[in-house]
Structure 1
Amino acid sequence: MSSVTISLGAAGDVLARIALLVPFHGADAIWGPSCQYSAVMAAAELNAKGGILGRQIELLAADAGGDPAEVEGRVRALLASDAPEVLIGVHLSSVRERLSRAFGGSLPYVFTPLYEGGIRECGTFAIGDTPQAQLAGPVDHLIRSESAQRWFLLGHDYVWPRKTHAWLSQHLTARGAEVVGEAYQPLSEEDFEPLLDWIEAAQPDMVMQSLVGSACLEFNRAFARRGLSQKILRLSGALEENTLMALEPAARENLYCASSYFSSLDTPGNQAFQQRYYAVFGKNAPVQSVLSISCYEGMHFLAALTAQAGSLRLPRLEEAFRSGLWFEAARGPVRLKNGNVVAPSYLARAGATGFDIVARFDS
């Protein structure tokens, strides 16, 4: 699938064209439909309030799954055929690096999901959780409450897991915990048996898994088949609701996730968001997660940023980004300060029907 046009403005409107880059195939495609639904809802809400800078929004969706070079080709084709003025991406950081090199400085690029931090790419506006914001509180809690002293770090072999684990290794050492193993798996590889041998031999208290999508499913299933889920805790930074729904009960045992959002979050903002979402799309709509609601929040962030800048020109947008702003999020209003979102993080445990919130940690 190369692109889909979702026209939300009235006929004759001067349109603000936004390229929505979400995965339609590959390891991360499992959350693609949820992303599209949340983006359409956000665009409709914004259009009802006047759109972007007084212009109605038109969404142009392109497949951001798979090989980064191929994603770049799809984006180039979309730019040539439909001339979007903004890119909004919910995809892997390896894709973001490729797109930032290819298009950085030529048009605004809003990158919304959790990421490794430290972005200095021209024209790229990252609003997702960094490792410190996402993991510091939950990791400290698990060290204290579950005596998680020995950690095994497992991730896919690209920039987000590696940089996240580099930060986590330093954090664990400072807390008196120990990293007893570290391994990385290609995105295309879903045979985890050799890694399970390594994990068993290392005897960790906790496996930190920075795996995405379908591979996250396969690892946790294989982990349970070995009987390891009964005696070794697991923590994920990217296990979201769509993935959790596909896991069998045994694979959910002793499984935790750290995130700034869960669909089960009991806040006035999230309750109102959930009510609007299912009223619009029906009770069988794809479940929302931290990755897909980042799509919704990216749209509202863009509206707030352009309103403050009064323009889509990059220098003015970057100045507004640095100065800070508030924007509407699924969890309620969120503040951006010094280029980082200020919001609580949560630790949740996998339950029978979803995530059960264990603790909240304020920034």
Structure 2
Amino acid sequence: MIGVHLSSVRVELARALADRVPYVFAPLFEGGTESEKVFSIGEVPERQFSGPVSHFMDNQAARRWFLVGNDYVWPRASHNWVRDFVLGRGGAVVGEEYVGLGYDTTHLVDMIEAANPDIVFLSLVGSECVPFNRMFAERGLSRHILRLSGAVEENTLMAIGADNTENLFCAAGYFSALQTPENHTFLKRYRDAFGVTAPVQGVLSEACYEGLRFFGALATRAQSLEIDALSQAFEGLSFESPRGVTTVRNGVASGPTYLARAEGTEFEVLRSFDNA
């Protein structure tokens, strides 16, 4: 089983599949899955956000942060990490608010406008990002307040619209715009197979492919599909994907992560962070 879904779904699947079926959870997540017997290979908050948050604090004078997210385990866990990291580096968190999936986000924009932070850290996911970011820009807030997301990918960016992406940044382990030999090969093979009008690859869809690459490497190393043998082969495993090489160290998959800026409805990768 290779899954790309919310962490709340992962918890239930892990409970159902424990000791029965090998289960790979591929996307970014909050960490702490050791007890679930899941092969988790996505970015944990420290791996995903330490470099980008430091970048904005050091280079953009982003001292006052407002944290906004959907109300479930990944946003809350990510915000706990970001809050401690920002405070530890002498910054301030001037607001923190959560909203249920599918709920109106107007009040979030109102709260941010009143608090006037330097930067908003966004953990709204999927279609939840769209009305919020449109409204944020329409209020004129994007001209002077930065936005950093860990969940806006290429297709969501297109839905937000080119007029609403000023000063919007994303931290992720993959962007379609990555200029790496591995990504060039991946995208060429993808377009050869599905055509130039196929959906743009983003961090979540690439994670599904990466999950397959990972499990192939894991099963080859273990020389077995038995869960115990796979578990013993997990630590120290290296596998290749469109982003580059990822290695499992101390139970955490560690590879390069990236910071990108929205340019209209496309991302421009600004820099990479080595999480080895």
The percent identity for this pair of structures is: 53
Where does 1:69-88 land on structure 2 (aligned, <5 Å)? 87-88=1-2
1:265 maps onto 2:178 in alignment: yes
Conservation of the 8 A alpha-carbon contact between 1:106 and 1:123: no
Residue number in structure 2 paired with 1:308: 221
Conservation of the 8 A alpha-carbon contact between 2:30 and 2:78: yes
Q: Deviations over 1:99-146 (max 9, x none)?
A: 112222221110000000111234310000011111000110111111
Residue number in structure 2 paired with 1:329: 241
SS of equivalent residue, structure 1 residue 181: strand
2-side partners of 1:128 and 1:103: how far apart? 19
Match of 1:345 among 253, 257, 261: 257
1:167 maps onto 2:81 in alignment: yes
1:248 maps onto 2:199 in alignment: no
1:124 maps onto 2:38 in alignment: yes
Q: Deviations over 1:32-88 (max 9, x none)?
A: xxxxxxxxxxxxxxxxxxxxxxxxxxxxxxxxxxxxxxxxxxxxxxxxxxxxxxx11
Residue number in structure 2 paired with 1:151: 65
2-side partners of 1:311 and 1:123: how far apart? 17
TM-score, normalised to structure 2, is: 0.96
Q: Deviations over 1:283-310 (max 9, x none)?
A: 0111111111110010011111111111
Conservation of the 8 A alpha-carbon contact between 1:107 and 1:123: no
Residue number in structure 2 paired with 1:223: 136
Conservation of the 8 A alpha-carbon contact between 1:105 and 1:122: no
In angstroms, what is the RMSD of aligned CA positions?
1.1
SS of equivalent residue, structure 1 residue 333: strand
Runs (5+) with no aligned partner, structure 2: none
Amino acid at match of 1:203: N
1:319 maps onto 2:254 in alignment: no
2-side partners of 1:332 and 1:274: how far apart? 14
Conservation of the 8 A alpha-carbon contact between 1:241 and 1:287: yes
1:237 maps onto 2:150 in alignment: yes
Q: How many residues align?
A: 275
Residue number in structure 1 paired with 2:16: 102
2-side partners of 1:107 and 1:306: how far apart? 13
Residue number in structure 2 paired with 1:182: 96
Q: Deviations over 1:153-175 (max 9, x none)?
A: 00000000000000111100111
Residue number in structure 2 paired with 1:194: 107
Structure 1 runs of 4+ aligned residues shifted over 3 Å read none
Cα shift at 1:194: 1.4
Cα shift at 1:353: 4.1
Amino acid at match of 2:160: L
Residue number in structure 2 paired with 1:31: none
SS of equivalent residue, structure 1 residue 261: coil
Q: Deviations over 1:289-340 (max 9, x none)?
A: 1111110010011111111111111111111112x21222112332222222
Amino acid at match of 1:88: I
Conservation of the 8 A alpha-carbon contact between 2:48 and 2:171: yes
- The farther-off stretch of 350-359 and 277-286 is 350-359
1-side partners of 2:36 and 2:9: how far apart? 15
Conservation of the 8 A alpha-carbon contact between 1:127 and 1:340: yes
SS of equivalent residue, structure 1 residue 116: coil
SS of equivalent residue, structure 2 residue 34: coil
Where does 1:281-300 land on structure 2 (aligned, <5 Å)? 281-300=194-213
1-side partners of 2:194 and 2:45: how far apart? 33
Residue number in structure 1 paired with 2:121: 208
Amino acid at match of 2:209: Y
2-side partners of 1:122 and 1:307: how far apart? 23
2-side partners of 1:152 and 1:310: how far apart? 48
Conservation of the 8 A alpha-carbon contact between 1:112 and 1:127: yes
Conservation of the 8 A alpha-carbon contact between 1:296 and 1:330: no
Amino acid at match of 1:333: V
Cα shift at 1:185: 0.5
Match of 1:113 among 14, 17, 27: 27
Conservation of the 8 A alpha-carbon contact between 2:67 and 2:93: yes
Question: Which one has a bigger Cα radius of gyration?
Answer: 1
1:92 maps onto 2:6 in alignment: yes
Amino acid at match of 2:174: Y
